[in-house]
């Protein structure tokens, strides 16, 4: 399946280049992510998950003045959350890695000869390829998982969704010539935990667990 997906993406990239030719502007990007899950229990406190992202994409101009662009991109991105559990103490850490496809519509506001301010929004879809959950002392069990173990969140014990999709609420920043600085925010549509509280202390309570991710990226147009 992974080989078929890679071949499909390669043919897509080649067809885009053939269609737009020199109008296409490829770029690379990478940076830091700050992740949360929507729907934290009232008895817990979000700390946030710090992760990384790296990716590449292309700019496709949609008007002759080249101020508006479609920006499809592929990215390896880290999402998740860290909770301090007040009831019983301890900390639970969720770390999920996704292969993500993004499509943004971005308007570039030109300021002078070298500077532009990009403002845009879009959609994303993602597939989870790796994940870990870990706990600290104070939480003896997490769904039957003892402290010190770090199993995958996608196995049958935790049962997190591999698929994720949502709204890229904004992508804004500043650009100087070919250098890009972006601030992005994503809001996931799908629950990661099927509306089940993952904590043994409050098992069964309604829980959303949608991915919320903010990222700070540095990039370069090739």
How high is the pLDDT of residue 14? 57
pLDDT at 119 exceeding the cut of 90: yes
What does the alpha-carbon distance between residue 189 and residue 187 come to, in Å, rounded to a whole number? 7
Domains, in order of start, for the chain: 2-221 (2.40.160.20)
Predicted confidence band of residue 84 (pLDDT cuts 50, 70, 90): confident
Q: What share of the chain is helix, strand, coil (3-state, %, to 5)?
A: 10, 60, 30
Which SS3 state, helix, strand or coil, does residue 117 take?
A: strand
pLDDT score of 197: 45
81 in Cβ contact with 36 (< 8 Å): yes
Q: Is the pLDDT of residue 18 over 60?
A: no
Residue with the larger pLDDT of the pair 19 and 55: 55
pLDDT in tens, 64-83: 888 999 999 999 999 988 87
Mean pLDDT, rounded, for 4-28: 66
Chain segment 27-56, per-residue pLDDT in tens = 999 999 999 887 654 446 677 889 999 999
Model pLDDT for residues 121-151, shown as the tens digit of each residue: 999 999 999 988 777 765 545 555 666 667 7
Q: What's the gap between Cα 78 and its chain centre?
A: 6
pLDDT > 90 fraction of the chain, expressed in percent and rounded: 46
DSSP per-residue letters across 130-171: EEEEEE-TT--EETTEETT----TTSTTT---SEEEEEEEEE
Find all residues with CB under 8 Å of 104, minimum gap 6, and list them: 70, 71, 72, 73, 120, 121, 122, 168, 171
C-alpha–C-alpha distance, residues 115 and 58, integer Å: 19
The overall average pLDDT reported for the chain is 80
1-5, 118-122, 139-143, 165-169: least confident range: 139-143
- Residue 91 pairs in a beta bridge with 84
Lowest mean pLDDT segment, chosen from 18-22, 99-103, 167-171: 18-22
Quote the tokens at residue 154.
């996608």
pLDDT at res. 195: 45
Residues belonging to the chain? 222
pLDDT of the residue at 24: 85
The full 3-state SS of 39-80, as one line of letters, equals CCCCCEEECCEEEEEEEEEEEEECCCCCCEEEEEEEEEEEEE
Does the reported pTM lie above 0.85? no
- Residue pair 183/122 in contact (Cβ under 8 Å)? The answer is no
Euclidean distance between CA atoms 17 and 39, whole angstroms? 42
């Amino acid at each position: 399946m992974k080989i078929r997906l890679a071949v499909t993406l390669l043919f897509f990239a080649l067809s885009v280049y053939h269609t737009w030719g020199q109008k296409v502007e490829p770029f690379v990007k990478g940076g830091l992510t700050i992740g949360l899950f929507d729907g934290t229990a009232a008895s817990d406190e979000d700390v946030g998950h710090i992760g990384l992202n790296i990716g590449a994409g292309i700019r496709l101009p949609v008007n002759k003045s080249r101020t508006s662009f479609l920006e499809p991109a592929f990215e390896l991105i880290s999402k998740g959350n860290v909770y301090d559990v007040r009831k019983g103490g301890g900390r639970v850490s969720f770390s999920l890695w996704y292969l993500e496809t993004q499509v943004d519509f971005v308007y570039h506001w030109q300021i002078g000869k070298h500077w532009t301010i990009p403002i845009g929004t879009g959609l994303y879809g993602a597939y989870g390829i790796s994940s870990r959950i870990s706990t600290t002392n104070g939480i003896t069990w997490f769904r039957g998982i003892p402290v010190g173990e770090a199993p995958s969140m996608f196995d049958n014990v935790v049962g997190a969704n591999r698929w994720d999709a949502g709204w890229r609420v904004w992508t804004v920043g500043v650009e100087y010539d070919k250098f890009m600085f972006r601030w992005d925010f994503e809001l996931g549509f799908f629950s990661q935990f099927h509306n089940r509280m993952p904590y043994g202390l409050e098992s069964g309570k309604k829980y959303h667990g949608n991915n919320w991710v903010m990222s700070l990226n540095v990039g370069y147009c090739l």
